[in-house]
Amino acid sequence: MKTKGLIIAIILLTTSQLTIAQNVDITGFARNYTGMLYNTGEFNMLQNTLNVNFEKMGDRVAFKANPMLYLYGIDSLDFRLREIYLDLYFDNFDIRIGKQQIVWGKADGVFITDIVSPLDLQEFLLPDFDEIRVGVYAAKVNYYFGNSTFEAIWKPVYAGNEFPGPGSIWYKPPDFLATPTFDYSKEKIDPSLENSEVYLKYSLSSSAIDFDLMGAYTWDQTPSMYVEKQFEFDTVTNSPVLTGLLITPEHHRLTVAGGSFTSTIKSFVVRGEAAYYNGKYFQTADSTADGALTQKDYLHYVVGVDYGVGHLKLSAQFIQKYIMDYNDFIDEEEFGNTMTFLARYDAMRETLHLELFSYVGLNYVDALIRPKVTYDFSDSFSILLGSNIFVGDKRGMFGRYEENSMIYTKIKYNF
């Protein structure tokens, strides 16, 4: 670990000296993030982060590299190259090639048409949303005409969501009827032209409304679990007995079409976003279903409204996921209903920021409540005190993590 840290430090030091010589802009932040669980008083988060952006701008060409170092505890070092790409600018279009994060959609804290970059869910939904997305290797072309933009993205290398593993407080193993054995032979998607992904988006910006239309031929970023039951014959009862399960994770193709919009009506901003997913596989208890999976289409949408007066901002969203051609064997509810609420107030000449953001699950009446207070000592230095409070029915998305409720601080220096 010491050797790895030393090598990374040498690389960063050498790179910084080279970039200074080449007039490269260097920005970023250093941050300490400490979290403690309410129920035990244990520190569940001891993280120091160094995020560095190297950017070089030219008339026709630009370059960005964004290495990021996470130090957990005192010796667990995680190095990530979040982005590294090249921009080429032309009269009516531009091209970006390399590892990049791509943000689509209008919703806050919800990912509906925002599906190009997968998510790092190893800490559930708690990381800042500019850090929760995973960079992807892609070629992106933006073509501009009038107030419109046409965007085309080609992803030759698959990247999926990242989930917590055993040992993490965020890992919730599924309940199985028998001891499972996992076969991961079909989970990997090899890079090839056949396995690549394509995304298209048309955007229009006007004084009355901004809207997007999108389509994608992609992979489900969360694998489906193909379940094969294993039996042994019981000579006493003369009947087969379930002895185990063979679980094979596998990704499937999805075809997605959707759009989003924002419009201002007097003092209110109205937002909406929707996507139709074709080809999704759901877990089912239907004994006739092959591998305990059933293929269904579903609709995912959100409507929201924002209102601001002075230094106060209020926002609310309603989110629904509707599984079509539903039957009672499917593990998920036919309608998955969630709401979000945001209240933010800036005080003391916008140096003190009070914020309350909440997810509320309506199916099982559970919630994630996230109050926080941030004070900016200067343009460069800030301190944040916050809490993540999980409440409600343990069958819900948020209630199941009730024991993970925590208080935390983030001390951040921007440079």
Other Cβ atoms closer than 10 A to 337: 14
Per-residue pLDDT, 325: 96
Q: Report the SS3 class of residue 12.
A: helix
Nearest 5 degrees, angle CA 184-CA 187-CA 192?
135
Q: Residue ranges per domain, the chain?
A: 310-415
- 392 within 8 A of 398, measured Cβ to Cβ: yes
Q: Which of 146, 263, 270, 148 is nearest to 208 (CA)?
A: 263
CA distances to 219, 230, 391 from 188, in Å: 12, 24, 36
Residues of the chain falling short of pLDDT 50: none
Q: Which of 366, 367, 411 is nearest to 386 (CA)?
A: 411
205-219: pLDDT as tens digits: 998 999 999 999 999
- 273 within 8 A of 113, measured Cβ to Cβ: yes
pTM: 0.90
Round to the nearest angstrom and report the end-to-end CA distance of the chain. Answer: 27
DSSP state, residue 173: P
- Residue ranges of the alpha helices (H) in 133-218? none
16-55: pLDDT as tens digits: 555 555 789 999 999 999 999 999 999 999 999 999 999 9
Cα torsion at 90, 104, 369, 355 (round to 10°)?
A: 30
CA distances to 104, 199, 208, 211 from 205, in Å: 14, 20, 8, 7
What is the 3-class SS of 13-34, one letter each residue?
HHHHHHHHHCCCEEEEEEEEEE
Instruction: Report which residue type is found at 87.
Output: D
- 409 within 8 A of 384, measured Cβ to Cβ: yes
CA distances to 53, 141, 249 from 89, in Å: 20, 10, 41
- 398 within 8 A of 361, measured Cβ to Cβ: yes
Residue 92: which residues within 8 A CB-CB, separation 6 or more? 143, 144, 145
Characterize 366-392 residue by residue with b for buried, 16 or more Cβ atoms within 10 angstroms of its Cβ, and e for exposed.
Answer: bbbbbebebebeeeeebebebebbbbb
Q: Which residue has the tokens 């929760």?
A: 132
d(CA 248, CA 183): 5
Per-residue pLDDT, 19: 55
Give me the count of residues in the chain.
Answer: 415
Per-residue pLDDT, 12: 58
Instruction: Report which residue type is found at 192.
Output: S
Q: Which of 147, 150, 122 is nearest to 134 (CA)?
A: 122
Dihedrals φ, ψ of 222, to 5°? Answer: -115, 120
Residue 365 bridge partners (DSSP): none
Per DSSP, the residues of 315-361 read EEEEEEEEESS--TTBSS-SEEEEEEEEEEEEETTTTEEEEEEEEEE
Query: Could you tell me how far CA 409 lies from the centroid of its own chain?
Result: 22
Other Cβ atoms closer than 10 A to 320: 16
Per-residue pLDDT, 378: 95
Other Cβ atoms closer than 10 A to 111: 22
Residue 146: which residues within 8 A CB-CB, separation 6 or more? none
CA distances to 35, 121, 122, 140, 247 from 171, in Å: 18, 10, 8, 35, 18
